[in-house]
Amino acid sequence: MRVALVGMGSRGDAQPMAVLAAELMGRGHDVVLATSSDLAWMGPAFGVPTVDMEMSAREFLESEQGRRWLAAGDVASYVKWLIDHKHQIADQLHAALLELVDGMDVLVSGTATELEGVVIAESRGLQYVAVHHAPMRRNAAFPHLLVSTAVFSPEQNLATYDEVEKNSWPLFAPFVNDLRAKLGLPSTTETSSRRLARTGSLELQAFSRYVVPELADWDVRRPLTGFLTPTPEQRAVLHQAKDDGLLEWIAAGEAPVYFGFGSMPVLDAQAALALISKVSSSLGVRALVGAGWSDVAAGALEDGQVRVVAELDHEAVLPLCRAAVHHGGAGTTASSLRAGLPTVVCSIFADQPFWGAQLARLGVGTTLKFTELTELSLLDALEPVLTDAYRERARAIAERLLDESGAEQAAVAVEQATS
């Protein structure tokens, strides 16, 4: 097959797509990967031909205004801003995607470009494959993740998907029908999800049946493949820059708690680190802070109890930790669970509240909203997960996750669905 894969968005969008692209290429398929400029290095690092979409995900996701809206919990303003941004880049994005799929057989896309991808695939006669990092489609086990983290009756759960689709289509219809007109297709009232269902298109669920057992046998079109995690060889090229002395610091005392603030809208780095220091001191634990794209590293403490690093290899370092605190993105959640760590999720929006609630249901974590993050709330959330009961349950899930090969299962599903 000739397969184009699009992983626009943050690292949590690009890295799994790069992992899947490498797996498909290793199975003999002709592959090209497209990502934002910030992450276009990742495909070549895996040996995958890559197209730079010439758009900066970091510039957008880390903008001051966007971070302020998220920090305040003003998701409505943030989403409006997202939609406005999408209007601004529409022509550039359409042109890049159309050039990308020229001569291809299959288009694989994450949710950030699903609206466009479904239309382009239809216009070019391509098979479309969706990649979802949380359950987004209609099912009786959970309500729509944008509606509630509580579980209702099967009938009530199902009804939430109809309601979300009814309310969201007026926002998305202009994107869809403007592109359809541009490509010579008739206008439609059919949503992307309904079209994919009608055409029997594959929708990869890139998460584990052991973390969402309620959907283990969901639908032949929606297989739970397992998380798309890098191989040891891929991790080696992703994390060539080492933090000098990090492993020595970890080994010099009790296992630390990992705080992954890289995707959180931290507006005051000094205050965030002071909060971590106070909570760690109260609980008698050390703290390892992964700053990621945030500017938390600018306020690094030098007290020996808290260590701040910009980037680290989650798969190598997290197993050396005692617990994890992070935003609850699917990729980071997978890493902390694979490391056997009880996890506190400080959710912001999108699928993060779902993952926080799901870890709580499994008894391997606790959760709170980022907007409710204080010294007291973090203490209350973190203290329980430091117990043996949480650790034992987390280790049991980790053993199962480490036996999964998400990329292989996903690649096989793509081959079977598109052959």
87, HSE (Cβ side, Cα atoms, 13 Å): 9
Mean pLDDT of the chain: 92
Q: Which residues contact 78 (CB under 8 A, 6 or more apart)?
A: 66, 69, 70, 349
> Tens of pLDDT along 307-352?
988 778 888 899 999 999 999 999 999 999 999 999 999 999 899 9
* pLDDT of amino acid 59: 76
> Tens of pLDDT along 128-142?
999 999 999 999 999
Going along the chain from its start, the domains and CATH numbers come out as 2-227+405-418 (3.40.50.2000), 242-401 (3.40.50.2000)
* pLDDT of amino acid 309: 86
* pLDDT of amino acid 298: 46
**pTM for this prediction:** 0.94
Helix boundaries (H) for 111-203:
114-124, 154-182, 192-198
**Is the confidence at residue 293, as pLDDT, over 60?**
no
DSSP secondary structure letter of residue 325: E
Q: Which of 20, 67, 15, 65 is nearest to 36 (CA)?
A: 15
Percent of the chain whose pLDDT exceeds 70:
95
> What's the 3-state SS for 357-409?
HHHHHHCCEEEEEHHHCCHHHHHHHHHHHCCHHHHHHHHHHHHHHCCCCHHHH
> Tens of pLDDT along 245-265?
888 999 999 999 999 976 677
* pLDDT of amino acid 7: 96
